[in-house]
Amino acid sequence: MTKHQPIRLAVFASGNGSNFEAVAQSIQKGEVDGELALLVCDQPGAFVLTRAEKLGVPAVTFTPKTFESKADYEREVLAHLEEAKVDLIVLAGYMRIVGKTLLKAYPERIINIHPSLLPSYPGRQGIVDAFMDKVEQTGVTVHLVDEGVDTGPVLAQETVAIEPDDTIDSLERKIHAVEHELFPKVIQKVIKKLQKEHV
Ligand code: GRF
């Protein structure tokens, strides 16, 4: 028996899902004190769904363009989150801007991981943009989500050096390795804070 109610997480992802898997494994190892209640995927056929099946995580997939509006789509997502009693949303490669419906339902309870040192290089191509700019360092940011694109208060950042012999591929590998360590740690910190608030 734990002292606190377990915090229930939903991970939102659109693609490969390596961060989803890192979070799921950290939960299984007991390093993150939460329950992975749901994977929300907006891309039918994404590899993250295969990972979820293997790990036994319930998943729901949507095709957002079949909804009349973003609000309609998010209302449907919200119904699933409520049914799964989700406390905290974790965006892990979710390639969509979160709208008002979800932001209102989960104030300061949506976090995102981004592959750059925000506010530098927001958007879809954070790794490539930093590499092309020939900067000496880039990194990883975990932040609270607001209505902007990769804005919102920063919770943690870690730097990754870009060495002269790096390629986009090698840089991507280094960044992902940092993400897989940093994200579960920050999620655990957020969970602890939420548990304190619940006491
Ligand atoms: C990560 O680099 C994350 O920072 C960004 O999207 C990528 C997702 O990778 N938001 P994966 O699907 O977790 O492997």
**Ligand 1 atom with least separation from CA of 47:** 12
DSSP state of 37: E
DSSP H helices, 36-167, are: 47-55, 70-83, 100-105, 126-132
Ligand 1: does its nearest atom lie under 6 Å from the Cβ of 15?
yes
For a mutational test of ligand 1's pocket, the pick from 11, 14, 19, 90, i.e. the residue with the most ligand atoms closer than 8 A to its C-beta, is 19
181 contacts 19 by C-beta, under 8 angstroms = no
**Conformational region of residue 123, where left means phi above 0, alpha means psi within -120 to 50, and beta covers everything else:** left
CATH topology of domain 7-198: Rossmann fold (3.40.50)
Protein residue whose Cα sits closest to atom 2 of ligand 1:
115
Q: Does the C-beta of 114 come closer than 6 Å to ligand 1?
A: yes
pLDDT at position 1 is: 44
Residues whose CB is less than 8 angstroms from the CB of residue 103 and which lie 6 or more positions away in sequence, other chains included: 110, 145, 146, 147
CB 116 within 8 A of CB 138: yes
Catalytic status, residue 114: yes
Judge if the beta carbon of residue 93 lies within 6 A of ligand 1: yes
Question: Distance of CA 25 to CAs 19, 21, 56, 105, 137, Å?
Answer: 10, 6, 12, 27, 29
The residue ranges of every structural domain in the chain are: 7-198
Distance CA 87, CA 100 (A): 17
- Measured CA distances, 24 to 1, 40, 80, 81, 84 (Å): 20, 14, 19, 18, 16
* CA 42–ligand 1 middle distance (angstroms): 14
pLDDT of residue 5: 75
**What's the confidence (pLDDT) of residue 199?**
64
Alpha-carbon gap, residue 117 to 48, rounded angstroms: 25
Q: Which of 114, 143, 176, 198 is catalytic?
A: 114
Per-residue pLDDT of the chain (199 residues; tens, 9 = 90+): 446 778 999 999 999 999 999 999 999 999 999 999 999 999 999 999 999 999 999 999 999 999 999 999 999 999 999 999 999 999 999 999 999 999 999 999 999 999 999 999 999 999 999 999 999 999 999 999 999 999 999 999 999 999 999 999 999 999 999 999 999 999 999 999 999 887 6
Q: The pTM is what? A: 0.96
What DSSP element (H or E) covers 35? strand 34-41
Q: Collect all residues with Cβ–Cβ distance below 8 Å to 20 and sequence separation of at least 6.
A: 11, 13, 39, 48, 51, 52, 92, 93
Q: Identify the residue whose C-alpha is closest to ligand 1 atom 10.
A: 93
The CA distance from 155 to 27, in Å, is: 20
What pLDDT was estimated at residue 2? 47
**Does 99 contact ligand 1 (Cβ within 6 A)?**
no
Cβ of residue 152 lying under 6 Å from some atom of ligand 1? no
